[in-house]
Chains A and B, each alone.
Chain A
Amino acid sequence: MSSLARNLFRTLGGAALLAAPTVALAAGDLGGQAEQQPTNWTAIIMFAVFVIGTLFITKWAAARTKSAADFYTAGGGITGFQNGLAIAGDYMSAASFLGISAAVMASGFDGLIYSIGFLVGWPVITFLMAERLRNLGKFTFADVAAFRFAQTPVRIFAASGTLVVVAFYLIAQMVGAGQLIKLLFGLEYWIAVVIVGALMMIYVLFGGMTATTWVQIIKACLLLGGASFMAFMVMWNYGFSPERLFASAVDVKAGIASAGGAAPEQARQSGLSIMAPGNFITDPISAISFGMALMFGTAGLPHILMRFFTVPSAKEARKSVMWATGWIGYFYLLTFIIGFGAITFVLTDPSFLDPRGGLIGGSNMAAVHLAHAVGGNIFLGFISAVAFATILAVVAGLTLSGASAVSHDIYSTILKDGKADSASELRVSRITTVALGILAVALGIAFEKQNIAFMVSLAFAIAASANFPVLFLSILWKDTTTWGAVIGGFLGLISSVVLTVLSPSVWEATLGYAKGSAPFPYTSPALFSMTIGFVGIWLFSVLDRSRRAQIDRDGFLAQQVRSETGIGAAKASSH
């Protein structure tokens, strides 16, 4: 992959986006950290309003969070439409918003390729997983993965898969949050990280899934509303003609190239390059591998899967994915327009540019500067507050999912043999929430100066290579056995981590070995580690001659009947 594509990967890599490498995108500046901005009071006041509002919701939710079921699934009383918005709120990170619009501003069409990768996992979830998850599961995806297997080994695997994915995703979000808030609000990095950690703990600790869901819904509405307004203003300026917007963007890019000393014909070509695929794919294997990580990783993210247990039926579960897919797809169309808007409004306005022609604050500021350009100071404050709210919604979902893996899978099912009472299970999930919150803040501060851009891609790769194959085969393949699932799942997990460490994004960018020395040359391990996961499950299931294996295979019929019809499911969720 070209270095541009690699940088873009990092950009999309997640909130990590907000960290160093992205800054390099437009500005061509490889220097790292986000620059601290003057304290932005409008943004802080708007954010304070959001926080106060969500704390009231948390207070209301706390009164309704009495049992473990309330804590994990909001009592199962969320409607499909609400859950669809909450899923969108859980999934659309500040990374997607700022990172993708920045990528579009930098290279036009290539930015769209990323958006599409982040969207195409949703139909797969809809067709193969959503309703079956709802019919089989109760609180966590381990309920589904372990449905007909020996509980202890499969739960240990599923809890590991959950915690590892959550950890990488959470670190990326925390570091991103610190960088972003330093940038937008002018606060110190560590203060920003502590604020995010504290608020997230309050939401989850007291309000559980109910508060988390409403924080995600409100955030989704604010983000979609803000992005719609920006895209509307951009299009309005061009008489709602995409061609006029594109033509103007091409002129701006050609002008920049020409100012950089390019001959007129060359400059024109450079301008037109934003209208077609550029350097994204020089290496099809990396592209396909990364595409697989995004597509199947989405279907293996524990905090997303958990959302399917908050609705009362399979019908509502399907409606949730339909709404989620619609909102997320719409959002990515908006970010494309916003990215082009940033070319024509931001790159042409010297007040947003530093002396070298880069964006003030780094290239991730594309959408933020555009907010200023189309909506003035107040709207700038609004979008900054929304970006902060976005991070809170995502980290709350992650923490809840990590806490449930510990309290439901490890404590209640393994240690207490499924006999833990609701009150003690609830207590363990709250203790875990506090522990995860403190850990997240500590890691967020520890990783401040590290190049952690690979972490979100890694989280997707692990989800695709470990969680997804185990879930998929346990639901659909009769002959999967306990040991097949556990060994294959761990092979997928370990291989995705090892190959990522050996890939350029860690080996060269983080560990600092010479360029080109990475033993694993591709950007994403998913093509290989997913294969290892699937083949491992198949092989060790086929070889499994234990007595348990027979029970596992015999259990398939009852599981299948329940996953297809929901018979027995309503009772299981005790709603």
Chain B
Amino acid sequence: MDTSVAERVAANPTYQSLKATRSRFSWTLTIAILIVYYGFILLIAFGKNLLATPLGDGVTTLGIPVGFGVIIFTIVITAVYVRRANGEFDALSETVKREVLQ
């Protein structure tokens, strides 16, 4: 790709909005996973008793749904990003290509 194409793309308003939206979205999700994971680690470090609280009368503790929750959250948040990127963002990206390259 020569520089003039890159400059034309960079000046394209659709491209700019795609870049800004995607960047905001991916950083928001990145921060979310960082908070969830390191929150989990800190909870283990400083909130052991909370995680050891039994749910109801059985032996199952709060730690089990929290731990499984982190795994499920990781899978779901990945799927959320991929869904939006493969739909909305790719469509925008196609628009940019159409607008600039033709």
Contacts and interface: CB of A to CB of B under 8 A. Distances in A.
Are A and B subunits of one complex?
yes
Interface of A: 109, 112-113, 115-116, 119-120, 122-124, 126-128, 131, 242-243, 246-247, 250, 272, 275-277, 280-281, 284, 287-288, 291, 295, 314-315, 318-319, 321-322, 325-326, 329-330, 332-333, 557-558, 560-562, 564-568
The interface residues of chain A, by DSSP majority, are classed as helix
A127 B44 CA distance: 26
Nearest to B36: A120
Given A115-B71, A276-B48, A325-B78, 12 more contacts: A109-B61, A113-B67, A116-B67, A275-B64, A276-B51, A276-B63, A280-B44, A287-B44, A295-B37, A562-B6, A564-B18, A568-B5
A124 B33 contact: yes
Interface residues of B, number: 54
Nearest to B70: A116
Contacts of A560: 10, 19
Contact of A281 (B45, B77, B100, B101): B45
A119 B42 contact: no
Contact of B59 (A119, A247, A277): A247
Contacts of A123: 29-30, 33, 74, 77-78, 81
Nearest to A327: B75
Nearest to B93: A565
Contacts of B67: 109, 112-113, 116
A329 B74 CA distance: 8
Contacts of A281: 41, 44-45
A329 B82 contact: no
A128 B22 CA distance: 10
Nearest to B57: A243
Given A315-B86, A565-B97, A321 B78 contact: yes
A120 B37 contact: yes
Contacts of B93: 564-566
A316 to B, nearest CB: 9
Nearest to B18: A564
B41 A291 contact: yes
A112 B41 CA distance: 12
A246 B58 contact: yes
Contacts of B54: 275
A120 B33 contact: yes
Interface string B1-23: 10101110110000100110010
A244 to B, nearest CB: 9
Contacts of B10: 557, 560-561
The 8 closest A-B CB pairs, nearest first, are: A276-B52, A568-B1, A558-B6, A127-B26, A322-B82, A284-B45, A329-B75, A325-B78
A127 B37 contact: no
Contacts, number: 160
Contacts of A115: 71
B5 to A, nearest CB: 7
Contacts of B3: 557-558
A315 B88 CA distance: 12
The interface residues of chain B, by DSSP majority, are classed as helix
B9 A565 contact: yes
Nearest to A131: B85
Contacts of A131: 85
A128 B26 contact: yes
Nearest to A295: B37
A102 B100 CA distance: 57
A275 B61 contact: yes
In the complex, which of the residues A123, A314, A332 has the most CB atoms of chain B within 10 Å of its own CB atom?
Answer: A123
Interface string B65-99: 00110111011011101100110001001001100
Interface of B: 1, 3, 5-7, 9-10, 15, 18-19, 22, 26-27, 29-30, 33, 37-38, 40-42, 44-46, 48, 51-52, 54, 58-61, 63-64, 67-68, 70-72, 74-75, 77-79, 81-82, 85-86, 90, 93, 96-97, 100-101
A321 B77 CA distance: 12
B9 A116 contact: no
A124 B18 CA distance: 20
Given A123-B77, A291-B37, A333-B71, A247 B58 contact: yes
Contacts of A124: 30, 33
Nearest to A115: B71
Contacts of A314: 90
Contacts of B100: 567
14 contacts: A113-B44, A119-B74, A127-B26, A127-B30, A128-B26, A131-B85, A242-B64, A272-B59, A287-B41, A288-B38, A314-B90, A325-B78, A329-B75, A561-B10
Contacts of A561: 1, 5-6, 9-10, 15
B32 to A, nearest CB: 9
Contacts of A558: 1, 3, 6
Contacts of B79: 322, 325-326
B51 to A, nearest CB: 5
Contact of A333 (B41, B44, B68): B68
B88 to A, nearest CB: 12
Contacts of B19: 560, 564
Given A123-B30, A123-B78, A275-B61, A318 B51 contact: no
Nearest to A110: B44
A250 B67 CA distance: 18
In the complex, which of the residues B40, B51, B71, B96 has the most CB atoms of chain A within 10 Å of its own CB atom?
Answer: B71
Contact of B15 (A247, A288, A322, A565): A565
Nearest to B54: A275
Contacts of A330: 75
Contacts of B70: 116, 120
A246 B67 CA distance: 15
A242 to B, nearest CB: 7
Contacts of A565: 9, 15, 18, 93, 96-97
